[in-house]
């Protein structure tokens, strides 16, 4: 069963990150230790200038050097462990979310139409993982320690503290400016990147038409224009962050000089020692370093934050599997009860008030003009597009009562746009089953009449089909996809234009396959424009304008002479649609 979680999207994602809280706590503790150890340099210089030099004591200097070297070694070790732990957190986040992200990627077209290549969620997860594993996230763990360093500056002398505080306020202002000025260019760059990659993917799918009909050049120009927009936004965002990073660096360098100047004045007035000048300069540099790093990483932070928001919304709205009682396999009937269907994310009805019932052992042929709603009906029957109104039932149980993976074992579907996944023919026919055996694959191939064609190939069932089945002809892809639809003897087989790329032999095999579904007690629905695809049909439905115009025995609907004995009368719900 599929259900939308009731929690807000952010809460839904945060629930998946609960196991990472201890890791973040460990990083916080490591950061605390690192920032305390970072005082080593300042304290060493303070001791050298205020104790070692006046006393001219080499043993004291040697002892300080040993202590400082040990502390620096500990600091370096902790920083290494922190970076490794951040990388592990990024990997753990990816491991927790990658299945959900991929599942959402697959189910997204059932919820809404997208204009991009559909891979934005994958890129978002990669962006988040990269940011967590980099220096940017470490800098944000160091930021809370800036007030601690400023307090130490005040302990050295109030005017040193005031100077450091002014520099910190200036860098915070630069940080806020970076957030304000870079947000919109970064968002536009992300949108532009998604659009151009989607266009590139679409152009690659249609390369044959583009080259053969001579509009590859125009596509190239359009790509160049889209890429120019993307680069403009990228440069704008990069310029803002780069300029502010340089400004932050200059501000920090000027602040160090200002602290030295203030310290010199204090020494002249005998209000501070020479060691305080050097120590406070090092301390201020360390205090403001995380702010400077954060500004430099601001572009990555914005991208990660935008990706996080998109992922949270996607995973929060995506259907999730709930544990329900498994239903027995359907064996009796398919009932369509007054369904109306829209495209995902749209409001306009494509199908309206469609009702009919089919019993086991029936082959239904669906015909009608283009854009009449035939493919929409196929998607509704297979659960791809949930009905806005009405219900589709298998043996009295609505599709929503089934687990999506369990329901898929009882459905065979051949869409108009046939696509195979990169892998072997056997893997594609078996729907990439983990523990596939030869017998069901061969049985499906024989049922589709494609067994002889496959074994004639050099590698037989182990033949690699290539990306999207590119190593096979269109007819071969369609026939292998038909075998995939028949794999496991599903109760309902829905074929959308299954003979669009078939020759005479292929159409004969298609007719035999449909007859085989009827003989084993399944239900087959074939959507077609060419009458030859209806040879095995005993019932016909005519769809026009999104409504069922006629439904009944083929001989009555099409006025054809009977070629075989008709099966038992079908139960028809609603008759002709109004």
Q: What is the pLDDT of residue 318?
A: 57
Model confidence at 487, in pLDDT bands (50, 70, 90)?
very high
Which CATH superfamily includes the segment(s) 10-316?
Answer: ABC transporter type 1, transmembrane domain (1.20.1560.10)
Q: Tell me: pLDDT of 5 over 60.
A: no
Report the alpha-carbon distance of residue 383 to residue 487 in Å, rounded. Answer: 18
Mean pLDDT throughout 341-362? 89
CA-based Rg of the chain, rounded to a whole angstrom?
34
Model confidence at 2, in pLDDT bands (50, 70, 90)?
very low
Contacts of residue 173, Cβ cutoff 8 Å, sequence gap at least 6: none
As a CATH number, domain 333-559 is 3.40.50.300
Q: What is the pLDDT of residue 575?
A: 33
Q: Would you say the C-alpha torsion 113, 114, 117, 119 has a positive or negative sign? A: negative
CATH 1.20.1560.10 domain residues, the chain: 10-316
Which one has a higher pLDDT value, 46 or 71? Answer: 71
Tell me the DSSP string of 191-233: HHHHHHHHHHHHHHHTHHHHHHTT-HHHHHHHHHHHHHHHHHH
Report the alpha-carbon distance of residue 8 to residue 112 in Å, rounded. Answer: 19
Mean pLDDT throughout 364-389? 89
User: What are the tens digits of pLDDT across the range 439-477?
Assistant: 999 999 999 999 999 999 888 999 998 877 778 888 888
Mean pLDDT throughout 216-240? 82
CATH 3.40.50.300 domain residues, the chain: 333-559
Lowest average pLDDT, out of 7-11, 104-108, 319-323, goes to 7-11
User: What are the tens digits of pLDDT across the range 535-574?
Assistant: 889 899 999 888 988 898 988 887 755 444 333 333 433 3
C-beta neighbour count of 162 within 10 angstroms? 14
Q: Tell me: pLDDT of 266 over 50.
A: yes
C-beta neighbour count of 24 within 10 angstroms? 15
Which one has a higher pLDDT value, 115 or 299? Answer: 299
User: What are the tens digits of pLDDT across the range 151-189?
Assistant: 888 888 888 888 888 888 887 787 777 767 777 777 787
pTM across the whole model: 0.66
Report the alpha-carbon distance of residue 104 to residue 261 in Å, rounded. Answer: 59
How many helices (H) and strands (E) the chain has is answered by 21, 12
Q: Tell me: pLDDT of 381 over 80.
A: yes
Q: Would you say the C-alpha torsion 110, 114, 119, 122 has a positive or negative sign? A: negative
């Amino acid at each position: 069963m599929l259900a939308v979680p009731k929690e807000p999207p952010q809460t839904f994602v945060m629930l998946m990150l609960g196991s990472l809280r201890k890791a973040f706590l460990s990083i916080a503790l490591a950061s605390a230790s690192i920032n305390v150890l970072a005082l080593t340099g300042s304290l060493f210089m303070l001791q050298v200038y205020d104790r070692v030099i006046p006393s001219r004591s080499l043993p004291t200097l040697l002892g300080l050097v040993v202590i400082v070297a040990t502390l620096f070694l500990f600091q370096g070790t902790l920083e290494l462990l922190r970076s490794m732990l951040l990388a592990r957190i990024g990997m753990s986040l990816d491991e927790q979310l990658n299945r959900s992200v991929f599942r959402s990627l697959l189910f997204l077209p059932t919820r809404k139409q997208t204009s991009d290549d559909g891979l934005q969620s994958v890129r978002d997860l990669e962006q988040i993982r990269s940011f967590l594993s980099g220096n940017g996230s470490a800098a944000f763990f160091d930021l809370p320690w800036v007030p601690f360093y400023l307090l130490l500056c005040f302990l050295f002398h109030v005017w040193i503290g005031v100077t450091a505080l002014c520099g910190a306020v200036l860098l915070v202002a630069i940080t806020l400016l970076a957030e304000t000025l870079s947000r919109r260019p970064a968002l536009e760059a992300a949108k532009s990147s998604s659009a151009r990659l989607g266009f590139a993917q679409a152009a690659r799918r249609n390369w044959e038409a583009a080259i053969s009909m001579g509009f590859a050049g125009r596509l190239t120009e359009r790509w160049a224009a889209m890429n120019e927009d993307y680069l403009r936004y990228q440069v704008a965002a990069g310029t803002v962050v780069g300029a502010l990073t340089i400004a932050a660096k200059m501000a920090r360098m000027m602040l160090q000089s200002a602290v030295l100047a203030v310290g010199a004045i204090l020494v002249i007035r005998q209000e501070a020692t020479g060691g305080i000048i050097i120590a406070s300069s090092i301390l201020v540099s360390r205090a403001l370093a995380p702010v400077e790093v954060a500004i430099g990483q601001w572009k990555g932070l914005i991208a990660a934050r935008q990706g996080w928001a998109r992922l949270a919304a996607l995973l929060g709205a995506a259907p999730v599997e709930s544990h329900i009682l498994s239903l027995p396999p359907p064996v009796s009937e398919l009932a369509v009860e007054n369904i109306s269907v829209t495209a995902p994310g749209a409001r306009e009805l494509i199908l309206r008030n469609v009702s009919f019932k089919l019993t086991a052992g029936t082959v239904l042929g669906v015909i009608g003009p283009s854009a009449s709603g035939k493919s929409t009906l196929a998607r509704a029957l297979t659960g791809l597009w949930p009905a806005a109104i009405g219900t589709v039932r298998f043996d009295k149980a609505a599709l929503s009562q089934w687990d999506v993976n369990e329901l898929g074992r009882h459905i065979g579907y051949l869409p108009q746009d046939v696509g195979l996944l990169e892998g072997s023919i056997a893997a594609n026919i078996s729907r990439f089953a983990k523990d596939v055996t030869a017998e069901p694959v061969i049985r499906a191939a024989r049922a589709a009449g494609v067994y002889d064609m496959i074994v004639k190939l050099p590698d037989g069932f182990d033949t690699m089909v290539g990306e999207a089945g590119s190593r096979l002809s269109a007819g071969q892809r369609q026939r292998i996809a038909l075998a995939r639809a028949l794999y496991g003897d599903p109760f309902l087989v829905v074929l959308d234009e299954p003979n669009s790329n078939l020759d005479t032999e292929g159409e004969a095999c298609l007719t035999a396959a449909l007859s085989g579904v009827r003989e084993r007690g399944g239900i087959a629905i074939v959507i077609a424009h060419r009458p030859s695809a209806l040879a095995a049909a005993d019932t016909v439905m005519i769809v026009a304008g999104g409504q069922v115009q006629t439904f009944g025995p083929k001989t009555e609907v099409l006025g054809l002479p009977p070629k075989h004995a008709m099966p038992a009368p079908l139960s028809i719900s609603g008759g002709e649609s109004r």
